[in-house]
Amino acid sequence: MPTLFDAPGARFPRPSREVASGVVHLPDWLPLGEQAALVGEARGIARSVAGTPLAMTRPQLRSGQMSVHILSLGQHWATNPYRYVTSVDGVPVPPIPASFHDLAARALADAASLSPSLAAWSGKYRAEAALVNYYAPESTMGMHQDANELSEAPVISLSIGDTGIFRLGNTENRNRPWVDVPLLSGDLIIFGGEHRRAFHGVPRIEADTAPEGCGLDRGRINITIRQVAL
Ligand SMILES: O=C(O)CCC(=O)C(=O)O
Ligand SMILES: [Fe+2]
Protein backbone atom coordinates (compact mmCIF):
# COMPACT_ATOMS: atom_id res chain seq x y z
CA MET A 1 0.00 0.00 0.00
CA PRO A 2 1.40 3.45 -0.80
CA THR A 3 1.77 5.76 2.16
CA LEU A 4 2.29 9.49 2.58
CA PHE A 5 5.99 8.78 2.50
CA ASP A 6 6.13 7.20 -0.93
CA ALA A 7 7.98 8.81 -3.79
CA PRO A 8 6.09 11.66 -5.45
CA GLY A 9 4.04 10.40 -8.35
CA ALA A 10 3.44 6.97 -6.81
CA ARG A 11 -0.10 6.02 -7.69
CA PHE A 12 -2.72 4.85 -5.29
CA PRO A 13 -3.90 1.37 -6.26
CA ARG A 14 -7.11 1.45 -8.29
CA PRO A 15 -8.82 -1.92 -8.37
CA SER A 16 -11.43 -2.86 -10.97
CA ARG A 17 -14.77 -2.60 -9.19
CA GLU A 18 -18.51 -2.18 -9.41
CA VAL A 19 -18.86 1.47 -8.29
CA ALA A 20 -22.65 1.16 -7.99
CA SER A 21 -25.09 -1.49 -9.14
CA GLY A 22 -24.58 -1.89 -12.91
CA VAL A 23 -21.62 0.52 -13.06
CA VAL A 24 -18.18 -1.00 -13.53
CA HIS A 25 -14.88 0.91 -13.54
CA LEU A 26 -11.90 -0.81 -15.16
CA PRO A 27 -8.82 1.39 -14.52
CA ASP A 28 -5.90 1.32 -16.97
CA TRP A 29 -7.95 -0.86 -19.31
CA LEU A 30 -6.50 0.20 -22.67
CA PRO A 31 -2.72 0.30 -23.31
CA LEU A 32 -1.20 3.63 -24.38
CA GLY A 33 -0.46 2.47 -27.93
CA GLU A 34 -4.11 1.54 -28.48
CA GLN A 35 -5.25 4.84 -26.97
CA ALA A 36 -3.06 6.73 -29.43
CA ALA A 37 -4.37 4.62 -32.32
CA LEU A 38 -7.99 5.45 -31.37
CA VAL A 39 -7.20 9.15 -31.06
CA GLY A 40 -5.58 9.05 -34.51
CA GLU A 41 -8.60 7.31 -35.96
CA ALA A 42 -11.05 9.79 -34.39
CA ARG A 43 -8.92 12.71 -35.59
CA GLY A 44 -8.95 11.33 -39.14
CA ILE A 45 -12.74 11.05 -39.14
CA ALA A 46 -13.14 14.52 -37.61
CA ARG A 47 -10.96 15.95 -40.40
CA SER A 48 -12.97 14.10 -43.05
CA VAL A 49 -16.23 15.72 -41.90
CA ALA A 50 -14.83 19.20 -41.23
CA GLY A 51 -16.92 21.80 -43.04
CA THR A 52 -19.93 19.47 -43.36
CA PRO A 53 -23.11 19.47 -41.24
CA LEU A 54 -21.55 16.61 -39.25
CA ALA A 55 -18.40 18.51 -38.28
CA MET A 56 -17.25 18.15 -34.68
CA THR A 57 -18.95 20.98 -32.88
CA ARG A 58 -20.19 22.33 -29.55
CA PRO A 59 -23.93 21.61 -29.56
CA GLN A 60 -26.42 24.27 -28.60
CA LEU A 61 -28.61 23.00 -25.75
CA ARG A 62 -31.74 24.40 -24.13
CA SER A 63 -29.45 25.43 -21.25
CA GLY A 64 -26.79 27.09 -23.45
CA GLN A 65 -23.88 26.04 -25.63
CA MET A 66 -21.88 23.01 -24.48
CA SER A 67 -18.19 23.53 -23.73
CA VAL A 68 -17.47 20.04 -25.09
CA HIS A 69 -16.95 19.39 -28.82
CA ILE A 70 -18.84 16.30 -30.06
CA LEU A 71 -18.28 14.08 -33.10
CA SER A 72 -21.07 11.56 -33.77
CA LEU A 73 -20.46 8.19 -35.43
CA GLY A 74 -23.05 5.63 -36.54
CA GLN A 75 -25.89 7.94 -35.56
CA HIS A 76 -25.75 11.65 -34.82
CA TRP A 77 -27.01 12.99 -31.52
CA ALA A 78 -29.12 15.95 -32.62
CA THR A 79 -30.54 18.69 -30.42
CA ASN A 80 -33.81 20.65 -30.45
CA PRO A 81 -35.34 18.18 -29.92
CA TYR A 82 -32.78 15.72 -28.57
CA ARG A 83 -32.76 12.59 -30.75
CA TYR A 84 -30.56 10.33 -32.86
CA VAL A 85 -30.56 10.75 -36.66
CA THR A 86 -28.72 8.87 -39.42
CA SER A 87 -28.03 11.89 -41.64
CA VAL A 88 -28.03 15.68 -41.46
CA ASP A 89 -29.06 17.77 -44.51
CA GLY A 90 -28.62 14.67 -46.67
CA VAL A 91 -25.09 13.96 -45.41
CA PRO A 92 -24.86 10.47 -43.87
CA VAL A 93 -23.26 10.05 -40.44
CA PRO A 94 -19.82 8.38 -40.71
CA PRO A 95 -19.90 4.71 -39.67
CA ILE A 96 -18.55 3.43 -36.37
CA PRO A 97 -15.04 2.07 -37.07
CA ALA A 98 -14.39 -1.66 -36.57
CA SER A 99 -11.98 -0.83 -33.73
CA PHE A 100 -14.85 0.71 -31.72
CA HIS A 101 -17.06 -2.36 -32.24
CA ASP A 102 -14.18 -4.52 -31.08
CA LEU A 103 -13.60 -2.30 -28.06
CA ALA A 104 -17.28 -2.54 -27.03
CA ALA A 105 -17.29 -6.33 -27.20
CA ARG A 106 -14.07 -6.60 -25.18
CA ALA A 107 -15.29 -4.07 -22.63
CA LEU A 108 -18.50 -5.99 -21.92
CA ALA A 109 -16.67 -9.30 -21.69
CA ASP A 110 -14.23 -7.80 -19.19
CA ALA A 111 -16.95 -6.17 -17.07
CA ALA A 112 -19.16 -9.26 -16.99
CA SER A 113 -17.53 -10.91 -13.99
CA LEU A 114 -18.05 -7.78 -11.86
CA SER A 115 -21.72 -7.11 -12.62
CA PRO A 116 -24.49 -9.60 -13.47
CA SER A 117 -26.63 -6.89 -15.10
CA LEU A 118 -23.76 -6.06 -17.49
CA ALA A 119 -22.96 -9.74 -18.08
CA ALA A 120 -26.45 -10.14 -19.56
CA TRP A 121 -25.40 -7.92 -22.52
CA SER A 122 -22.16 -9.65 -23.36
CA GLY A 123 -22.42 -11.20 -26.84
CA LYS A 124 -25.68 -9.45 -27.77
CA TYR A 125 -24.76 -5.77 -27.62
CA ARG A 126 -25.11 -3.67 -30.79
CA ALA A 127 -22.87 -0.60 -30.98
CA GLU A 128 -25.11 1.76 -32.98
CA ALA A 129 -23.91 5.23 -32.00
CA ALA A 130 -20.56 6.43 -30.72
CA LEU A 131 -19.93 9.96 -29.48
CA VAL A 132 -16.40 11.29 -29.36
CA ASN A 133 -16.31 14.13 -26.84
CA TYR A 134 -13.35 16.51 -26.69
CA TYR A 135 -12.86 18.43 -23.44
CA ALA A 136 -10.40 21.31 -23.39
CA PRO A 137 -8.97 21.58 -19.87
CA GLU A 138 -11.63 24.21 -18.99
CA SER A 139 -14.56 22.17 -20.32
CA THR A 140 -17.21 20.54 -18.16
CA MET A 141 -20.36 18.55 -18.78
CA GLY A 142 -23.40 19.26 -16.62
CA MET A 143 -25.42 16.59 -14.85
CA HIS A 144 -27.69 14.83 -17.34
CA GLN A 145 -29.26 11.49 -18.18
CA ASP A 146 -28.44 9.57 -21.36
CA ALA A 147 -32.09 9.23 -22.27
CA ASN A 148 -32.35 9.33 -26.07
CA GLU A 149 -31.62 5.63 -26.50
CA LEU A 150 -34.68 3.37 -26.42
CA SER A 151 -32.49 0.50 -25.31
CA GLU A 152 -31.52 -0.13 -21.70
CA ALA A 153 -28.19 -1.55 -22.96
CA PRO A 154 -25.23 -0.13 -21.03
CA VAL A 155 -23.19 2.88 -22.17
CA ILE A 156 -19.53 1.99 -22.67
CA SER A 157 -17.23 4.92 -21.95
CA LEU A 158 -13.48 5.18 -22.56
CA SER A 159 -11.31 8.09 -21.42
CA ILE A 160 -8.08 9.27 -23.06
CA GLY A 161 -5.82 12.21 -22.17
CA ASP A 162 -6.22 14.43 -19.12
CA THR A 163 -7.97 12.99 -16.08
CA GLY A 164 -11.67 13.78 -15.93
CA ILE A 165 -13.76 13.66 -12.78
CA PHE A 166 -16.82 11.56 -13.60
CA ARG A 167 -19.74 12.32 -11.27
CA LEU A 168 -22.20 9.45 -11.00
CA GLY A 169 -25.41 10.61 -9.40
CA ASN A 170 -28.77 9.07 -8.67
CA THR A 171 -31.73 8.26 -10.93
CA GLU A 172 -34.07 10.86 -9.36
CA ASN A 173 -32.45 14.27 -9.83
CA ARG A 174 -29.21 16.19 -10.46
CA ASN A 175 -28.41 16.51 -6.79
CA ARG A 176 -26.65 14.35 -4.22
CA PRO A 177 -26.12 11.54 -3.53
CA TRP A 178 -23.35 11.19 -6.07
CA VAL A 179 -19.92 9.62 -6.22
CA ASP A 180 -16.92 11.16 -8.01
CA VAL A 181 -14.71 8.74 -9.94
CA PRO A 182 -11.47 10.10 -11.44
CA LEU A 183 -11.12 8.68 -14.95
CA LEU A 184 -7.50 8.51 -16.09
CA SER A 185 -6.25 7.93 -19.59
CA GLY A 186 -7.11 4.37 -20.60
CA ASP A 187 -9.85 3.93 -18.00
CA LEU A 188 -13.14 2.37 -18.94
CA ILE A 189 -16.45 2.86 -17.21
CA ILE A 190 -19.58 0.99 -18.23
CA PHE A 191 -22.91 2.10 -16.89
CA GLY A 192 -26.06 0.09 -17.16
CA GLY A 193 -28.38 -1.94 -14.99
CA GLU A 194 -30.04 0.05 -12.21
CA HIS A 195 -27.90 3.09 -13.05
CA ARG A 196 -28.45 3.21 -16.82
CA ARG A 197 -30.61 6.32 -16.42
CA ALA A 198 -28.67 7.83 -13.53
CA PHE A 199 -27.72 11.49 -13.77
CA HIS A 200 -24.02 11.96 -14.43
CA GLY A 201 -21.59 14.63 -15.57
CA VAL A 202 -17.99 15.81 -15.64
CA PRO A 203 -17.49 18.76 -13.26
CA ARG A 204 -13.73 19.05 -13.81
CA ILE A 205 -10.77 18.14 -15.97
CA GLU A 206 -7.34 18.01 -14.36
CA ALA A 207 -5.12 19.93 -16.78
CA ASP A 208 -1.71 18.60 -17.78
CA THR A 209 -2.30 15.06 -16.54
CA ALA A 210 -2.39 13.30 -19.93
CA PRO A 211 0.33 10.62 -20.06
CA GLU A 212 3.02 10.80 -22.72
CA GLY A 213 2.12 8.60 -25.66
CA CYS A 214 -1.70 8.59 -25.32
CA GLY A 215 -2.07 10.57 -28.54
CA LEU A 216 -3.39 13.73 -26.94
CA ASP A 217 -1.18 16.57 -25.64
CA ARG A 218 -3.89 18.65 -24.08
CA GLY A 219 -7.42 18.02 -22.83
CA ARG A 220 -9.44 14.86 -22.74
CA ILE A 221 -11.27 12.64 -25.18
CA ASN A 222 -14.14 10.50 -24.03
CA ILE A 223 -15.66 7.94 -26.36
CA THR A 224 -19.11 6.63 -25.46
CA ILE A 225 -20.61 3.71 -27.33
CA ARG A 226 -24.36 3.16 -27.20
CA GLN A 227 -27.01 0.76 -28.39
CA VAL A 228 -29.89 2.98 -29.48
CA ALA A 229 -32.69 0.65 -30.62
CA LEU A 230 -34.41 -2.00 -28.50
O1 LIG B 1 -17.03 12.46 -20.57
C2 LIG B 1 -17.56 11.61 -19.86
O3 LIG B 1 -16.92 10.87 -19.12
C4 LIG B 1 -19.06 11.48 -19.88
C5 LIG B 1 -19.68 11.80 -21.20
C6 LIG B 1 -21.17 11.71 -21.19
O7 LIG B 1 -21.79 11.64 -20.18
C8 LIG B 1 -21.90 11.68 -22.46
O9 LIG B 1 -21.29 11.76 -23.53
O10 LIG B 1 -23.14 11.54 -22.42
FE1 LIG C 1 -23.85 11.09 -20.60
Residue 189 CB-density burial (10 A; 0-12 exposed, 13-18 middle, 19+ buried): buried
**Residues placed in the known binding site for Fe cation:** 144, 146, 200
The residue contributing the CA closest to ligand 1 atom 10 is: 146
For the Cβ of 224 lying below 6 angstroms from any atom of ligand 1, the answer is yes
pLDDT of 5 higher than 90: no
What is the topology classification, in CATH, of domain 19-226? Jelly Rolls (2.60.120)
What are the residue boundaries of the structural domains of the chain, listed by start?
A: 19-226
Average pLDDT over residues 65-89: 97
For the Cβ of 141 lying below 6 angstroms from any atom of ligand 1, the answer is yes
**pLDDT by residue (tens digit) across 99-125?**
999 999 999 999 999 999 999 999 999
Residue 99 has what DSSP assignment? H
**pLDDT by residue (tens digit) across 162-189?**
999 999 999 999 999 999 999 999 999 9
Instruction: Output the pLDDT for position 11.
Output: 73
Instruction: Output the pLDDT for position 60.
Output: 95
Neighbours of ion ligand 2 (CB under 5 A): 146
Strand partners, 222: 133, 159
Contacts of 150 (CB under 8 A, 6+ apart): 228, 229, 230
For the Cβ of 35 lying below 6 angstroms from any atom of ligand 1, the answer is no
Atom of ligand 1 nearest to the CA of 146: 10
Distance of alpha carbon 171 from alpha carbon 200, whole angstroms: 9
Taking the centre of ligand 1 as the mean of its atom positions, its distance from the CA of residue 219, in whole angstroms, is 14
Q: Are 165 and 201 in contact (CB under 8 A)?
A: no
Complex ipTM:
0.99
